[in-house]
Structure 1
Amino acid sequence: MHTHPLQATVGFPRESGTDRRTILTPLLARALLGAGIDVIAEPGIGAGIFLEDKEYATAGVRFAAGEQVWAAPLVARYTCTDPADLSRLARGQHIAALFHAEGDIDLLDALRRCGATAWSYEFVAEDGRFPLGRPSGRIAGVQAVLAGAHTLQAPAGRGVLLAPVDGAPRASVLVIGSGNVGAAAAQTAAALGAQVTVLTRTQRSAADYQRQAPQGVRIQVNTRQNLLAGLAEADLVIGTILVSTYDTPPMIDHGDLEFMRPGAVIVDATCGYGPGYLPTAGPVQAPGDPPRVVAGILHVKIAVFPTLVPVTASAAYAANAAPYLVRLAQAALAGAADPAIEAARIASDGELVHPVLRAHARIYGMRP
């Protein structure tokens, strides 16, 4: 059984695999230490973003072997997607990370088996919003447009430049959704000079988005009529709605592709689980994979855009998450009542406790 000499301790192990990001930056370390929380980390925690151990030590971080870091009462990472990592935990410990476990039967099973209490950043909910999704959502939206701009080029793509050139018609970009990802995609496409249309879920979300929309962006409610009209004129379509169920009716199906221009591009920037709203996109692609061509339309479906810019992603995520991680540590280690943080609890004492994960477990025939 693990022993924890310092009960107000957060351990930061290195990320698994090739992911160069880290949630621990000197800024985050100072925020935790300022709240009276000890911080220990594996040596080389910031190597992937070119931060040396001495920069962490100056901020007050103590270094320890991986086994000791994993034995901390609260373990925090950027992501936790490898089920094997959870076997390093014991009942009574806590782990916080981006899990996105609802689409992964092996990870769901590992969360149950380890017996630890798990907190998933993406579910932190405050004032009806999910604040820890802002940095990664913005990065995904920006990169979706950049990926679309590249894919639009010949020989496979339509051959349209998103930036305006005298004598050529402006490119048309359709963004489906106006949340973190959609707003960033629309801002990026508009800054490049494209003609941008944003489809929102409701009239209320249209009014909310109007307050931050770049000048010239057209905003419409996502009716069937508006969607088909937008598809017909778009060179690039960016899908940014978060769909994480297997029974979501498709928003764009095979028949809809017939309305689109030959060589147009669809980028799925959120990549929900199951067929979701964009079944023609097929399975998730790895960065660098060629686009999937269906009915003459090029599809890009990448779920890991933030991993391609680890320096930017780590700095932005840690800065945004710092106050929430302090609160999470206080809730996990001291039992502080915090409804926003409690919303992020996904597993505890061998059971899945978050309704989204429990619903997916039932889809797989698992006991939550």
Structure 2
Amino acid sequence: MKIAVLKEMAPGESRCAAIPETVKKFVGLGADVAVESGAGASASISDDEFAAAGASLGSRADILNGAGIILCVAGPDPSGLAGGAPGALLIGALDPAGRSEAVQGYAGAGLDAFAMEWMPRITRAQSMDILSSQSNLAGYKAVVDAAAAYGRAFPMMMTAAGTVSPAKVFVMGVGVAGLQAIATARRMGAQVSATDVRSATKEQIQSLGAKAIFVENVAGIEGEGQGGYAGEMSDEYKKAQAELVSSHIAKQDIVITTALIPGRPAPRLVSDAQLATMRPGSVIIDLAAGAGGNVEGCRADQLTEIHGVKVIGASNLARSLPADSSALFARNLFNFLSAFWDKDAGAPVLPDEDEIVRGICLTHGGKIVHERLAS
């Protein structure tokens, strides 16, 4: 089995789908690994390091020739994947909801495409979950970037010249990114509070030493979404939450928003009117900027000043930590393939009825097969 590792061509993409560690592990399974020259450069991995791990290096045409598995970070253009073996597996973050034409192209090219971002959130798939691994880094980096943009210190400092008050950080949305943001802000000495529509997260917030800000005694909460994600809220809940947030956000120095609902635009959490109540010089990091943003007026990958508040649209912060994000992403891919690897066949065997396979397989046999894309 030949495994091809692509050099990423998407603008701003700095990650790599393999690292020397996973190359060695694939070679240990009996696979041949071919890495496109320069694939790891942005993640500080040289071609020599890949070669020392057992990979061959070459052009895209060279590495794709006869490849049975193609690994990528961002979904590549289907036109640039010629040369793979019939029925080759394409595995990476393929953005099936936003790139339907590309998915159709993968099917037309005879590729079996697997979108790792649709990995089911079940126990045996945790080590394969790219959203969790990348969100963890994004939550950390959001706090670091907020500290860089904020014109004051984070921790309380008592000096002969007077006392510096701690920064007040408010995290909205307590998934993987939110929890890491809470932990990082606490380590940096900030006074941290957080909120979420899922009642189960209250205990998690408190366990990290932050104050939980929750709407109480409101009927019609529908925030407990499937697979650990948040779902839609009732109108009554939205109104109560807006009132609670308005009273709290005016006192905050830094706000980090992380709320996403799979397959839908990001929910609006902070309005222009709420921004106007914040102190000039305050900072908001919107991690949902790529899906429309949680903050009114936010622009993806831009810093916008609104009412004196710095609003930073952070669509993919994991890219700004390419060495670590590549390492975690590459291990996610290896963990997926190795879980299904058949030593006798020398290749992965992916049963159609398996929950993981069914959850992430987009195309097979020249057709789009995923139920979420069938229409």
Whether TM-score is above 0.5 comes out as yes
Amino-acid identity (%): 22
Aligned letter for 2:361?
A: R
CA distance in 1, matches of 2:102, 2:295: 24
Match status 1:261 vs 2:253: no
Mapped contact 1:16–1:82 kept (Cα < 8 A) = no
CA distance in 1, matches of 2:273, 2:308: 12
CA distance in 2, matches of 1:205, 1:152: 27
Q: SS where residue 30 of structure 2 aligns?
A: coil
Match of 1:227 in 2: 245
CA distance in 1, matches of 2:145, 2:9: 26
CA distance in 1, matches of 2:157, 2:116: 42
Aligned letter for 2:330?
A: A
Match of 1:278 in 2: 295
Match of 1:317 among 320, 324, 329: 329
CA distance in 1, matches of 2:155, 2:357: 42
CA distance in 2, matches of 1:319, 1:48: 18
CA distance in 1, matches of 2:266, 2:288: 14
Offset at 1:209? 4.7
Match status 1:145 vs 2:143: yes
Match status 1:178 vs 2:195: no
Quickly say closer, same or farther: Cα 1:96–1:225, change in 2 above 3 A.
same
Quickly say closer, same or farther: Cα 1:50–1:208, change in 2 above 3 A.
closer
Quickly say closer, same or farther: Cα 1:349–1:256, change in 2 above 3 A.
farther
Match of 2:157 among 147, 155, 165: 165
Match of 2:28 in 1: 34
TM-score, length of structure 2 as denominator length: 0.78
Q: SS where residue 24 of structure 1 aligns?
A: coil
Offset at 1:208? 4.3
Quickly say closer, same or farther: Cα 1:162–1:109, change in 2 above 3 A.
farther
Q: Which moved more, 1:71-80 or 1:50-59?
A: 50-59
Match of 1:3 in 2: none
Match of 1:21 among 15, 21, 44: 15
Mapped contact 2:289–2:298 kept (Cα < 8 A) = no
Mapped contact 2:64–2:81 kept (Cα < 8 A) = no
Match of 1:55 in 2: 49
CA distance in 2, matches of 1:11, 1:312: 21
Alignment of 1:197-236 (within 5 A): 197-211=193-207, 213=208, 215=209, 217-221=210-214, 223-236=241-254
Quickly say closer, same or farther: Cα 1:147–1:82, change in 2 above 3 A.
farther
Alignment of 1:215-364 (within 5 A): 215=209, 217-221=210-214, 223-246=241-264, 249-273=267-291, 275-282=292-299, 284-285=300-301, 289=302, 291-327=303-339, 333-336=348-351, 338-349=354-365, 351-354=367-370, 358=373
Offset at 1:137? 0.9
Mapped contact 1:89–1:114 kept (Cα < 8 A) = no
Q: Which moved more, 1:316-325 or 1:137-146?
A: 316-325
Quickly say closer, same or farther: Cα 1:142–1:113, change in 2 above 3 A.
same
Alignment of 1:68-147 (within 5 A): 68-71=62-65, 72-80=67-75, 82=77, 84-85=79-80, 92-104=87-99, 107-108=102-103, 110-111=105-106, 113-127=108-122, 131-147=129-145
Q: SS where residue 29 of structure 1 aligns?
A: helix
CA distance in 2, matches of 1:354, 1:219: 38
CA distance in 2, matches of 1:249, 1:311: 31
Aligned letter for 2:155?
A: A
Aligned letter for 2:295?
A: L
Quickly say closer, same or farther: Cα 1:89–1:226, change in 2 above 3 A.
farther
Q: Please, which runs of 5 or more residues in structure 2 have no aligned partner?
A: 216-240
Offset at 1:83? 5.8
Q: Which moved more, 1:263-272 or 1:243-252?
A: 243-252
Quickly say closer, same or farther: Cα 1:113–1:266, change in 2 above 3 A.
farther
Offset at 1:185? 1.0
Quickly say closer, same or farther: Cα 1:184–1:23, change in 2 above 3 A.
same
Offset at 1:67? 1.4
Q: Please, which runs of 5 or more residues in structure 1 have no aligned partner?
A: 1-7, 154-159, 359-366
Match of 1:5 in 2: none
Q: SS where residue 182 of structure 1 aligns?
A: helix
RMSD of aligned alpha carbons? 3.0
Quickly say closer, same or farther: Cα 1:90–1:255, change in 2 above 3 A.
farther
Mapped contact 1:236–1:265 kept (Cα < 8 A) = yes
CA distance in 1, matches of 2:96, 2:19: 25
Offset at 1:74? 1.5
